[in-house]
Amino acid sequence: MSILITGAAGYIGSHTCVELLNRGEDIIALDNYVNSCSESLKRVKEITGRSFKEEECDIRDMAKLERIFTENDIDTVIHFAGLKAVGESCVIPLEYYDNNISGTVTMLEIMKKYNVKRLIFSSSATVYGDNKSPMTEDMPTGNVTNPYGRTKFFIEEMLKDLYVSDNDWSIAMLRYFNPIGAHESGRIGEDPNGIPNNLMPRITRIASGKPLDGGQTELTVYGDDYDTPDGTCIRDYIHVVDLAIGHVKAIDYVRNHRGVNAINLGTGKGYSVFELINTFEEATGVKVPYKILPRRMGDLADVYSSPEKAKKVLGFETERDLKKMCEDVWRWVKNNPNGYK
């Protein structure tokens, strides 16, 4: 039996492949490499000393999926594949709806056809919108302000409908908070295309002496006038290896329970932008010059998880602290100044 991993070559996918292989699972790594390259999978093999099948395939390509499901004995799908840039999703919403939503519908159709009814789906804390933190899974969702976030919300709704129609399904919708960090080996990590938008890759870019958009050599802190202790936004940063381990726990869960369940993957602790910058500087000894700019549109002051359901349902607790996240990401960036290229 194998676990099919869509989006396996990406940031979270590659780290999850490592944890699954280390646990002795057999995997099939599927990706169309729109935001990644096969070098990450080569390094997954090197880290784990294990081999696995790679399939270059778009999740909207029914004919290829048909072949993959015919040739392999797949028991569970972990579905990471999708486009994920919030800003870009406002510029090309149809591509986001097609890739993320149509792609997921195609995956679900093929799974149904081959009677593979265990699914772990990459959802996001973004579905909580402006609820008050700590975010709990029973809060209302859907008050999302961008097309990317709406794709996650719509897919969650679709998965709930699917379960209602057929109680044989076992679906975990994992709501990630802010994944950062890299594998301890320094061999795999986040490799964004072009100039990144997320805070941590922007910090490491400035720390490496590379400019951001418009040639600026200082980090931009978007707003220091929020109603938080130091005025900057608070987020729940989770080490990508902890996040990957959360998927291993979710595999055990979907193999033993039916139903559809939303589960947060976060630490339950929030850190401000200034706290992250300070911790990065302490952990690495590298200064991160910054300047304060006005607030970024759509940002919320305070977003952190309640990790209680993950603890209760999956037996999952994070182990890696913010300093470790900074140390590991810096090792990856220093060892791979051009990412996988």
Separation CA 72–CA 242 (nearest Å): 29
Local structure of 61: helix, strand or coil: coil
- Ranges within 208-247 binding ligand NAD (CB under 6 A): none
- Ranges within 151-180 binding ligand WQD (CB under 6 A): 178
Asked if 62 interacts with ligand WQD (CB under 6 A), we say no
Asked if 233 interacts with ligand WQD (CB under 6 A), we say yes
CB of 172 to ligand NAD, least distance (A): 13
Handedness of CA 245, 247, 250, 252 (dihedral sign): negative
Residues sharing a CB contact under 8 Å with residue 291, sequence separation 6 or more, in sequence order: 218, 219, 220, 221
Q: How many CB atoms lie within 10 A of CB 336?
A: 18
Please measure the distance between the N-terminal and C-terminal CA atoms of the chain and give it in whole angstroms: 33
Q: Which does 312 bind (CB under 5 to 8 A by kind): ligand WQD, ligand NAD, none?
A: none
Asked if 86 interacts with ligand WQD (CB under 6 A), we say yes
Local structure of 184: helix, strand or coil: coil
Are 180 and 238 contacting, i.e. CB atoms less than 8 angstroms apart?
Answer: yes
Would you say 58 or 327 has its CB closer to ligand NAD? 58
Asked if 325 interacts with ligand NAD (CB under 6 A), we say no
Task: Locate 245 and state its tokens.
Answer: 């381990």
Q: For the chain, what percentages of helix, strand and coil (3-state, to nearest 5) are there?
A: 40, 20, 40
Asked if 222 interacts with ligand WQD (CB under 6 A), we say yes
Asked if 325 interacts with ligand WQD (CB under 6 A), we say no
Closest chain position to ligand NAD (CB): 10
Q: Which does 220 bind (CB under 5 to 8 A by kind): ligand WQD, ligand NAD, none?
A: ligand WQD
Residues sharing a CB contact under 8 Å with residue 46, sequence separation 6 or more, in sequence order: 187
Separation CA 186–CA 337 (nearest Å): 11
**290 carries an active-site annotation:** no
**Considering 97, 148, 176, 253, which one is annotated as catalytic?**
148
Stretch that binds ligand WQD, among 50-58, 193-201, 240-248, 319-327 (CB under 6 A): 193-201
Separation CA 323–CA 278 (nearest Å): 10
**Positions in the binding site for ligand WQD (CB under 6 A):** 84, 86, 124, 126, 149, 178, 197-199, 202, 219-222, 233, 235, 273, 296, 299
**Positions in the binding site for ligand NAD (CB under 6 A):** 6-7, 9-13, 31-36, 58-60, 80-84, 99, 103, 122, 124, 176, 179
